[in-house]
A and B are shown apart, each in its own frame.
Chain A
Amino acid sequence: MFTRRDFLKTAGIAAAGSTTLAGLSACATAGGKSRGHVVIVGGGYGGATAAKYLRMWSNGTVDVTLIERNPTFISCPISNLVIGGVKQMEDITVGYDNLKSKWGVRIVTDEVTAIDTDKRTVATARNGSLGYDRLVLSPGIDFIPGAVGGLDGNQERIPHAWKAGPQTVLLRKQLQDMADGGVFALHIPKVPYRCPPGPYERACVVANYLRAAKPKSKVLVLDSNEEIQSKKGLFTKAFESYKGLIEYVPNSSLQSVDAASLTAELEFDSVKADVLNVIPPMRAGDIALKAGLPLINERWVDIDWLTMEAKGVPGVHVLGDALFPAPTMPKSGHMANQHAKVAAAAILNLFEGIAPNPTPVVMNTCYSFVDDRNVIHVASVHQYDAEKKQPMPVQGAGGVSAAANEIEGKAALAWAKNIWADMLA
């Protein structure tokens, strides 16, 4: 357990390592009421939620610094609707202003370059080094270099649009610029990947756009997996409703791409596209690897589910898509938000010197659009199993929509508004 003396020492390290942030460190200790300093890396669904809930649940007695490289939050959920032309970027963009002004979170817009888990410091590109008592890492995913031949360095030509932002805008533009009769090829990596239903939703909303704007075109879904990975029955029906527009090809393992000709080389076939959207194989965000956290399958962070701490690295709590998931637990923004609340509660308990909650519960809801207004969901609830030492899905709970419907189309947009507010308002 960190004592106040330890905290002052850590804050001292931060001040010594940085002139820019020295003021912040001094501020953290001046009042003498702080119970500790938590640094959060990554301001997405996990990190932003952790920042707000740490401040809210501690009544402002824990200092929180959120380091995020982007000046605003841009949501991956709902971003497929931007690609499909139903929503605009401003509809999926939310600022960090309220976290700062309403909740007293220090926002540092910067890139984290290194983490020293022994010295408990985080190095940034432009703001020097920060000390922490506890670190929350919500790094999302990064793509595995060299996993698809010819792909690295060509993301402007062959977008992934699997991190919302400029890539979303780019893929939308390529789709708009495509001539009627063109082929939009979408490649899906093997599971596990971020947002299991996301690629199938994308196929549907792109097809929905093409049906109205360029009906001679085609969406070619090249899935590395042997079948649809989420809401299979419902997406199968949706694909059938786009008969002639969507062609679904399972077991389509991508070997390499040619950026000049937009050709995808599959194991047994070669496909030329007019727009080539490759979602590459992925793993925990690079910073998790740089920090030396324990990985499973060299990809995903291994954690203790009661505190969300990386195994063998006390004081470093990891959230969201970067984790090796518990059974049937999806990599989703909703789940990252739930992870953040478990971590925030555990951190506050640990600061008080009490054990983490022995019975955490997390739940998930993922809504997917099958056109501009009809939606299908998948939901699950996961209760901590003390014997298995991880959350397990509750049998008989959760499930999917009976059929695509407009009521859930409204619910999906209300979900987005409410979860963005839960993180950032």
Chain B
Amino acid sequence: MNLKHALAMLGLVGLSAAAQAQDPNLARNLAATCANCHGTNGHSVGGMDSLAGEAQDKLMQKLMDFKSGDKPATIMHQIVKGYTDEQLTLITAWFAAQK
């Protein structure tokens, strides 16, 4: 059992602790919010970028460039601002790990 699991189990025992515990599948859950457009687990079926298996630093750089406005976009510059940098790190690591 890793630390995240241990924290989640603590959350079950004491509900007050649950608020602080990070979900064991947080990265997966966050990445799933991208799947509507970018495909299940980041496998696009066409017309949108696939994210699965892309290098994390490359994905992160793109997102940061959307956030700063350095990279022009139709919509991603607006969506990326809805996520914290910590969340984007979790999301990009998760997609990078997909085959």
List chain A positions with a Cβ less than 8 A from chain B: 52-53, 56-57, 334, 337-338, 341-342, 345, 349, 353-363, 365, 377, 379-383, 386, 394, 396-399, 401, 405, 407-408, 410-411, 413-415, 417-419, 421-422, 425
Given A334-B36, A355-B12, decide whether A381 and B19 contact each other with a Cβ distance below 8 A. no
Q: Contact at A357–B26, with CB atoms within 8 Å?
A: yes
Q: Contact at A417–B47, with CB atoms within 8 Å?
A: yes
Contacts A411-B75, A418-B39 aside, 5 further interface pairs with beta carbons under 8 A come to A345-B32, A358-B21, A401-B74, A408-B75, A418-B36
CA of A355 to CA of B82, assembled, Å: 25
CA of A408 to CA of B26, assembled, Å: 30
Note all chain B residues with C-beta closer than 8 A to A417.
Answer: 45-47
Q: Contact at B75–A337, with CB atoms within 8 Å?
A: no
Specify which of A354, A357, A401, A419 is in contact with B37 (CB 8 Å cutoff): A419
Chain A residue with minimal CB distance to B23? A357
Note all chain B residues with C-beta closer than 8 A to A57.
Answer: 25, 28
CA of A415 to CA of B25, assembled, Å: 25
Chain B residue with minimal CB distance to A396? B81
Place the interface of chain B in its size category. 35 or more
Note all chain B residues with C-beta closer than 8 A to A380.
Answer: 82
Chain A residue with minimal CB distance to B19? A358
Q: Contact at A407–B74, with CB atoms within 8 Å?
A: yes
Specify which of A338, A358, A421 is in contact with B40 (CB 8 Å cutoff): A421
CA of A342 to CA of B25, assembled, Å: 11
Chain B nearest Cβ from A187, distance in angstroms: 30
Q: Of residues 31 to 88 in B, which have CB atoms within 8 Å of A's CB atoms?
A: 32-33, 35-40, 44-48, 74-75, 78-83, 87
Q: Contact at A425–B45, with CB atoms within 8 Å?
A: yes
Specify which of A354, A383, A386, A418 is in contact with B82 (CB 8 Å cutoff): A383
CA of A414 to CA of B11, assembled, Å: 40
Chain A residue with minimal CB distance to B31? A341
Note all chain A residues with C-beta closer than 8 A to B15.
Answer: 355
Q: Contact at B33–A338, with CB atoms within 8 Å?
A: yes
Specify which of B8, B37, B45, B81 is in contact with A355 (CB 8 Å cutoff): B8
Q: Contact at B29–A345, with CB atoms within 8 Å?
A: yes
Note all chain A residues with C-beta closer than 8 A to B96.
Answer: none
Given A354-B8, A357-B29, decide whether A363 and B82 contact each other with a Cβ distance below 8 A. yes
Q: Contact at B39–A379, with CB atoms within 8 Å?
A: no
Q: Contact at B11–A418, with CB atoms within 8 Å?
A: no
Chain B residue with minimal CB distance to A398? B78
Specify which of B8, B28, B44 is in contact with A418 (CB 8 Å cutoff): B44
CA of A399 to CA of B66, assembled, Å: 14
Specify which of A56, A363, A405, A413 is in contact with B33 (CB 8 Å cutoff): A363
CA of A422 to CA of B30, assembled, Å: 15
What are 28 A-B pairs with beta-carbon distances under 8 A? A52-B40, A57-B25, A57-B28, A341-B32, A341-B35, A349-B8, A353-B12, A354-B9, A354-B24, A356-B23, A357-B23, A359-B22, A361-B83, A377-B74, A379-B78, A379-B79, A382-B82, A394-B82, A398-B78, A399-B78, A401-B75, A408-B75, A410-B47, A411-B74, A417-B45, A417-B46, A418-B35, A418-B36
Nearest 6 pairs of A and B residues by beta carbon = A381-B82, A414-B47, A397-B82, A357-B23, A397-B81, A355-B18
Note all chain B residues with C-beta closer than 8 A to A414.
Answer: 37, 46-48
Chain B nearest Cβ from A379, distance in angstroms: 5
Q: Contact at A359–B23, with CB atoms within 8 Å?
A: yes
Chain A nearest Cβ from B30, distance in angstroms: 6
Q: Contact at A405–B74, with CB atoms within 8 Å?
A: yes
Chain A nearest Cβ from B77, distance in angstroms: 9
CA of A365 to CA of B47, assembled, Å: 16
CA of A334 to CA of B35, assembled, Å: 10
Chain B residue with minimal CB distance to A393? B82
Chain B residue with minimal CB distance to A53? B32
CA of A408 to CA of B37, assembled, Å: 13
Note all chain B residues with C-beta closer than 8 A to A353.
Answer: 12
Q: Contact at B79–A397, with CB atoms within 8 Å?
A: yes
CA of A394 to CA of B32, assembled, Å: 18
CA of A62 to CA of B66, assembled, Å: 39
Specify which of B32, B45, B82 is in contact with A421 (CB 8 Å cutoff): B45
CA of A353 to CA of B5, assembled, Å: 12
Specify which of B26, B40, B44, B79 is in contact with A381 (CB 8 Å cutoff): B79
CA of A354 to CA of B46, assembled, Å: 37
Most chain A CB within a 10 A radius of its CB, from B23, B25, B30, B36: B36
Q: Contact at B23–A397, with CB atoms within 8 Å?
A: no
CA of A365 to CA of B8, assembled, Å: 32
Given A357-B25, A358-B18, A422-B39, decide whether A394 and B81 contact each other with a Cβ distance below 8 A. yes
